[in-house]
Amino acid sequence: MVKDDFDWKIIQLLQNNSRLSYAKIGREINLSPSAVAERVQRLEEENVIEKHITIINPKEIGYSLSAYITMGFNDNGYKPFLKTIDQFSEIVDCSMITGKDCLIMKVILKNNAHLENLIDRLCKFGNPTTSIVLSEVLNNGSIKIP
C-alpha cells in the first residue's frame, strides 16, 4: 500500500524511468538510497509495483499498424479462445468489457495483410470488430499522483 508522499514520488519517478538508480531517486526526493531501496522492495512485495518492463516502439521494429478489436463470441467460442490467446502474438493487451462484445484487444501488426490474417484466425472463435488506430493521443501508461 502507498503510505505517503515519498512512495508516490518513487512510483512517479519509476513510471517515467524504471532504470533510475536508488541513489538518483534518493537525490530527487531527499531520501537515502537504502531508504529508497527498502520502499521499492516493500512496494514490490505488496504488488503496488508489479514488474519492470521495457517499452518498445513497434514502428522501429517493423510493426507499423495498431488496432483495437472487440470480440463477440459464437456459442462455444469464448473458452477455447481464452485457452489459445497466448498463440496470438499480435495481441498486446486484452480486457473483458461490458456491452454487446465480451473482449477488447489492442493488437500490433506489420501491415493490412497481417491484420487480415489475424481477423481470419479470430473468426474461428466469434465475430471480431476492428478499429484501426490513426494516431495515439496519449499513451504513457502511468498513474498520476493524486
- Give mean pLDDT, residues 8-15: 94
pLDDT given for residue 20 in this prediction: 96
- What CATH number corresponds to the domain at position 120? 3.30.70.920
Q: Is the pLDDT of residue 142 over 80?
A: no
Grid cell of 134 as nine digits: 490513426
At residue 5, the pLDDT reads 92
Whether residue 144 is predicted with pLDDT greater than 90 in this model: the reply is no
User: Is 146 part of any domain?
Assistant: no
Averaged pLDDT, 7-20: 93
Same domain, 128 and 62: yes
Asked, for residue 80, whether it belongs to a domain, the answer is yes
Domain count, the chain: 2
Same domain, 63 and 125: yes
What secondary structure does DSSP assign to 30-96, as a single string?
T--HHHHHHHHHHHHHTTSS--------GGGGT--EEEEEEEEE-TTTHHHHHHHGGG-TTEEEEEE
Q: What residue numbers bound the domain in which 124 lies?
A: 58-132
Q: pTM of the entire structure?
A: 0.82
Q: pLDDT tens digit string along 82-120?
A: 999 999 999 999 999 999 999 999 999 999 999 999 999
pLDDT 10s digits, 31-78? 999 999 999 999 999 999 999 888 889 999 999 999 999 999 977 889
pLDDT value of residue 54: 85
Could you tell me if 77 and 109 lie in one domain?
A: yes
- 82 and 119 in one domain? yes
What is the reported pLDDT for 146? 65
